[in-house]
Amino acid sequence: MRLYDPTSSGPERTLFRAPVLTGLDGKTIGILENGKLNAVEMLREVGALFEARHGCVVRPVYSKSNASAPAPAGVLAQAVGEVDFLITGLGD
């Protein structure tokens, strides 16, 4: 019996996972807040932990207006040029 694989994606996929960082020390962090209640406050606290523990540098906060939609391409493009990694994500 021959079965087609149901998990195939299309031929033009352009988005893939970024390579894993080799270390955190001295890296530049971006914070992407998603507009949810207390998101900025919590993410700043997380950023402060990276500063204290790994000597990271925290960039000004990036924002997106819709918590459940991907960040606008322009925001991500800006972050790519400015930071080594990005912290985001806050549920309810």
Partner 1 sequence: MPFDSQRIHEVPDDLLAAIDYCYEQGWTDGLPVIPPVVDRVDATLAFEGRPPVAVIATHPATGLQLTVHAAAVNAVMAGCLPEYFPVLVAAFEAMDKPDFNFHGSTASTGGSAPLLIVSGPVADDIGMNADVNLFGPGNRANATIGRAVRLILRNVFQMIPGISDKSTQGNPGKYSFCIAERARGNPWPLLCETQDYPPGVSSVTVFAAGGFCNVENHGGNTPEQILGSVADAMANYGCITLGQSVVILSPEHMRIVDGAGWSRADAQSFLFTQAKRSVDGMKSVGKYRDSEYDHQHQAAAHALAEPGFVHRGLSPDDILIAMGGGDAGGHSCFIPSWSRGRGSIMQHKPIGVCIDCEQ
Amino acid at position 49, single letter: L
Among 7, 45, 74, 81, binds partner 1 (CB under 8 A): 7
Query: What token pair was written down for 56?
Result: 């990271």
d(CA 69, CA 21) in angstroms, rounded, equals: 25
Token pair 């606008």: residue: 72
The distance of closest approach from Cβ of residue 64 to partner 1 in the complex, given in angstroms and rounded to an integer, is 11
| Contact call for residue 16 and partner 1 (CB under 8 A) | yes
The distance of closest approach from Cβ of residue 40 to partner 1 in the complex, given in angstroms and rounded to an integer, is 15
> Which secondary structure element, helix H or strand E, spans residue 52, and what is its range?
helix 39-54
| Contact call for residue 22 and partner 1 (CB under 8 A) | no
Binding site for partner 1 (CB under 8 A): 1-16, 66-70, 91-92
